[in-house]
Every structure is written in C-alpha cells, then in structure tokens.
Amino acid sequence: MCSGKRSKVLAIIQARLTSTRLPKKILALIGKKTVLQHCVDNVKKAMLVDGIVVAAPHQVKTDVEVFIGDEKDVLDRYYQCAKAHKVDVIVRVTSDCPFIDPNIIDQAIEYFFITDHGYVCFAPIDGLDTEVFSFQLLEEAWKKAKDPYDREHVTPYMRRKTKLSIDTKEDLKKARRWYGLHE
C-alpha cells in the first residue's frame, strides 16, 4: 500500500431492474436474500472498501445507501455518485454478481495502489470481475466519452486508455517510451 494517508475507497454497485434477458433479476431470491443483497454482503467483507453505495436509476431494497441516477447514462450515474461522496478511488461491481469475492476486490484495490495506471481490472471469470479506478480517470471518461456504448458500460473508455498490450504502432511507441527507449 501507499505510504501516508490512504485514499477513500468507495464500492459502487451498479444496479437496474430492466435487464432484457432477465428483468428484475437482482430482486430474485437465492435462499432468503436477493441477488443484490448477496452481492452487497460479499462486498461488505472486503477489508479495503471504506463504503458501499448501490447506484441505480430507481429505488431498490438493500441495507446500504442507494444513489439514484440516470438509467441509460451509467457513466454519468457513477460520476455523480462518486462526486457526491467525494471519493478518490472507485470499485465497480455489478449487482448481478452474487458470488463476488471480497478477496478479489481487496487484491484489485491493493494492485491499484501499487501501480499508477489509474485503472485495474481483476476478472478471473464472469461474475467475479472487479474494476478499480481513480476519480480523476472517471471524471476524464465522464467529460470525454461520447460513444453511447462507453456511456452505458462505464469503463470501456478507461480500458482503452490504460491498456498495456501491443496491437498497433502507437501501442509499440508507448511501450518503448515506458521502457525508456526512443524511436
């Protein structure tokens, strides 16, 4: 972890009731709890998360705060929620992941703090995926992302901005700069 004061980390759980494949799936029961509540309960077990908010376009029943925001522009919903809570670091989890692993969340947060990429994604399998990013990068995406896909899915702009693989000549130039080599 970084030395000095640690940044405030807020887990924002993205939720909605309007899934086209399985409407209201986050309210479906698994045992005596909803899919959403299982997700919330698992995020609560993460040691490095300072707070949890469900960001939804409508009120949902859970035992944590619910932030109401835009239905279609999820990037705006995340930005407004993070801004309202004055956080430095955001953990993105989706509400249809009742098996989200608090250990993976903590590993992603730890990795975020030891790197300076501004964005980290740990995704061992679908349903355990956790994204961690800085408020600064979220704000940049909020200002610059114009594509509807980027606005609906929150992090595609960030992933493109922070990728480390080499697929293009520009990627190769960037890698050479990072290794301290000049063309």
Q: What is the pLDDT of residue 3?
A: 43
Side-chain-side CA neighbours of 100 within 13 Å: the count stands at 31
Contact 44, 107 (CB under 8 A): no
Sequence spans of domains, the chain? 9-178
- For residue 183, pLDDT over 60 is answered with no
- For residue 60, pLDDT over 80 is answered with yes
In this structure, is the dihedral angle defined by the CA atoms of residues 64, 133, 160 and 142, taken in order, positive or negative? positive
The CATH fold assigned to 9-178 is: Spore Coat Polysaccharide Biosynthesis Protein SpsA; Chain A (3.90.550)
Q: pLDDT tens across 105-141, in order? A: 999 999 999 987 899 999 989 999 999 999 999 999 9
Q: Please list the alpha-helical segments (H only) found in 27-86.
A: 35-44, 74-85
Instruction: Please state the pTM of the whole predicted model.
Output: 0.88
Region 140-152: what's the mean pLDDT? 93
